[in-house]
Structure formats: C-alpha cells, structure tokens
Structure 1
Amino acid sequence: MFPVRLVRRQRRSPSLVRMTFTDPSLDRFADRGYDQRIKLVLPKPGGLPLSAFPTGVDWWAQWREQPADARAHIRTYTVVAVRPERCEIDVDFVDHGITGPGSRFAVEAVPGDEAVIFGPNADFAGEAGGLEFRRELGGTARQLIVGDITALPAINGILERLPADATGLVSIEVPHEEDTRGVHAPPNVDLMWSVTDRGDDQGDAVRQWLTALGPLTSDHAATTVIEDGVADSYWEVSAGNTAVTETADLSAWIAGESGRVRALRRMLVDEFDIPKAAVCFMGYWRSGVAAS
C-alpha cells in the first residue's frame, strides 16, 4: 500500500486526464510496464477517512466489513509512468463527467488531494501479478490488441514494450478524433482507430482482419474465469499467465466495456475457432454502472 497525494493534473485529450501522484514510499514502486494495473483507493464524500482504510494482509476482507455507504471506493487503473527517482507515478483517468468516483476525481481533484495505491513492490523478487498481456509471445505470435478509451493507457504501455519486429493489429475505439494523438506502434503492427462520433464500427474492422488471416493455431492452455458480482464485469485469462508450451499463431488482448468484450469473445471463439486460452478477455467497466 502506497499512501499518495496528487501533485499534478494535466489534460491529455478530450477524454483523458493524467494525474501525477507522489509520496516518498514510491521510490519502491516497481515499474513492470505493459498493462500493469493497480488498485486506487479514493475516499467517499462524507464517509470514512482514508486513515480508516485497512492496509494489512486481510485488507480486502476488512474493507468489505466496513459499512458500504461509508467505506472508501476502490477502482482499478493502469500505471502510465513510474519515476522512482522522483517518487512519482502517472495514472490516466477517463473523464466521463460526474458519473462515478474515478471520473469525479478526474474532474474535481486538485493538488494535495490524497489517495492510496495498492501496487507492486520493487523489493519483491517474485511475480507481483497485475499483468495479463502475454509478453512472452510479444515477438513470436501475431498480436491482436483491442480496446476502448478505458483500455488506451494499458494499450500504450503494451505498445511501448513490444519488440520492433512485432506484427499484428491494434484496434482502439475512442470518443473523439483528438483522443488518437500520441500513440505509436511498431512498423509491422497495424494501428486502427474507431471514432464513435464518426460512426466507425470496431467489430467489423476486427472481423475483416481475422477473416483475411485465414486458419490459425494457438496453445490450448487452461483459462481462469473471474466474475465480479458487483460490477458484473467479465475476465477470462490464461491460467497463471504461464509460459506457452506450444507454438502460437495468435495472441490476443481485449479489454473495455464488458458487453463489448463478451461480443468479441463470441466472435473470436465461435466464428473463428480461436482457443480461449489464446485471448485475455477483460471487462474494465459495464455500461450503465458507475464503475469508473
């Protein structure tokens, strides 16, 4: 657990606000890159202070025991940048307006506001978790990376770590044309944008790309399905995210709104017979639920 305070707030695009957090303890925050996720703890207005948030081994169970109308909000975000020498990390927030605790923070937070981040410790030598991208396949399998604006920070982190000879398709859906700036992919990875205010159909674009590829093979490792009964999100990832033992033609990473993730899962698995273990399916949020 890293107790942090907001030190800078920067508008990155019409949809994204970058928040920079600081604390002396962040010199031990591990920079794992890729799609490294964290838990961000935000105080509930009129609720318990952050000092009441449990930080021990059983913190999750203890938090669940606190009154639901008073306990702090917990939301999941992606680390954008880590500067341990300055004791800072950057996190991008999607600005949906005042629709949920995370988006409210993006709109209303000012330098000095406090939060708690649960993230990887640089002193831990083992696998810290929070990474789902099959990085061992980054330079060997063709990549299919699909997401919406909430997945853009994670996709950026993945693209920054892909090897120069990576191949595949990255398809990103954003609300505004201006949200497409500043994203770069290796030369043999196609970067395709779907902008909702111009009516682009991301599903059709992905289907056309898969159809052009023809038959595919992949590893048949086991998968783990995680159901979140609170937000009704959907996660299905390779069990343990272990190293692949068979040659894989395709490795896919799909994240965004849960309903859209499920629809893409049906497309890949049912229409194109892609093994489920070849794809990380992650519902970051659900339409109609204030989960951001």
Structure 2
Amino acid sequence: MKIFLFVTCVVIIGAVVYGCSQIQNNNIVGVDNEKILDGTTRNIQFRTDKEKVRFQKMFDNINNSTDARWKTRPFESHGNFYKKQWCKRAEIGEFDCEQTNNITKGMMFKELSVLFYDKDLPVVFGIGSDALYTLVKSGWGVSFSYREYAESIFQKHTNITFLQFDEASEYPIDEIVLGTDRSYLVTENSDYSVVYNTGTSEQSELELYLKSPESFKNRALKIIDQHYQMVIGQINKNKIKIDEYGEYKDDGVPPPVISSRNLTNEEKRKALGVAKEYFDKEKSIIFDEYNNFYQLFKAVSPFENVF
C-alpha cells in the first residue's frame, strides 16, 4: 500500500518525495500579520499582476466546481503555507477536510495555497494546488499536486498519480505516476532508486497533459519510455548497488551499511526483466486508459483558462 500525504511540508506521491528544504525559523505568524492572514485573500499581495490573476482564476475554478455538499474552511496558515481546502466524501459519509495519511475510496479533496515569509507579508508567492478524487467502487482515481516557484521552501513540480481500486480493497492496488518527476526502485533489497526528471517547467509539463487526450497519451508514453531507458542504462553500467547491513540491535536505530556491491550478472538479468515488465505494463495501461485519465485529470485540475 502506498502512502500519500497532503501536509504542510511533505507530500509523498507515488515514490517521489516533495519536502520543505529550508523552513524559516521566523515563519510563525505574528500578531500584526494575523490581521493580514484573516481567513480571506483580501489583504494579501502578489509579486506580479500575472500571479494575482492566475490565483484568482484558479480559486474561481475550484469554487465553481464544488457545491453545498462540499465542506470547506477559510484560508489558514500552516508554517509557510496559507491555504484553503474543499472536501467531500462520496456516498459513504463525511470527509471533514482533515489531513490524512491514507487514501481510501470515495474521497474528494481540493486545495489552493500560496507561500509566505512572515517578514515579507502581505506579499505572498508560490501558487500551489492539490486535488484528489477516488471512486466509491472499483476503477481509477487521481491524485494531483502542482507547485510554482517556491524559493527554498518547496520543490516546484507537476505530479499526477492515477490510483487503481478494486471491489475488495479500500486502498489503491496499483498506481501510475506522471509529471515532472518519477522514481523506480530497481530491486527490493536495494535502496537505490532511479529518479527521472523531465527537465521541463511545472507549467510546461502541465500544459502537455491538458492540451488534448492525444497530447496526454503521447507525453505519458514518452516519459515512461525515457525513464525505462534510464533504468536499463543504470543497471547495465553497474550504477545500482546492493547494500549489506550490520546487525540490527532493536534500539530504533537503523543498522549501519557495512559494504556495498554491484549486482551479479544473474541479478542484473532479473532486474532488467522485471523493469521491462513494469514499464511495458505502464504503457499498456496508458494505451487503454488515456482518454479516461485525461478526463479525470481535467475534472480535478483548476487550470481551465488559467494559462
């Protein structure tokens, strides 16, 4: 089971981790600034008019996509984040916008946020959006995360994760991660992951998925294939290591790495076969589901007429 976090400083989506690299020590909102961050956006200022217009369009798109059945909160400050959430539990009870570590069936979640430094208020920056939609029964849902220019607080990214559910389980049984970053763990007994970054901006990547179903399919297939080529290249060039650990003393401290070695020829052969099967499966799912994925993503993203 994968864990997905919608939290202030860390978002784990698939196997890619986004985190606060340098949270400021002075980011506790002072008394004077509480009047600025008053649960609304009327007192905040953006660095550029384009940011202001983009934020307002995203806010309107989210607000117009929800109704009275959705629970919502005023904007709230959490660390360096100032954010608003909209939440709904489909058919099976209420979902009260509480942060959750586990994605289950029937969850609907949307969030819009900006970043700030206490000393710079009322100026804010770094527009971000998160969204989640999972089905009540079986099928594919989607988790989405977007973050613009964020200085040292947060890694900018566009990430789209499609989550598969079956009738028997409350939790996802499979996933496909698309967007600016992907990660693949080569062997179960190794901590060495092959991380692929598209090298494109978060906005450029986003636009490729929103343009059309065909554009969505072509972009997804391209990054899956490029990631696969990177994986087999690192396996063949002996970039993947197997760590040998010392004894665990049952004291809560991870055992030390006492040595590292290259994969044996047999381990390389097996790893290459597993990788081919994994990435071929991803491409097959994209061919079968790309139109459905495109519609799911369009339904949760707040970017209609934004760029």
Same fold (TM over 0.5): no
- Band the TM-score falls in, shorter-chain normalisation: under 0.3
Q: Tell me which structure has the larger Cα radius of gyration.
A: 2
RCO (CA 8 Å, sep 6+): is it higher in 1 or 2? Answer: 1
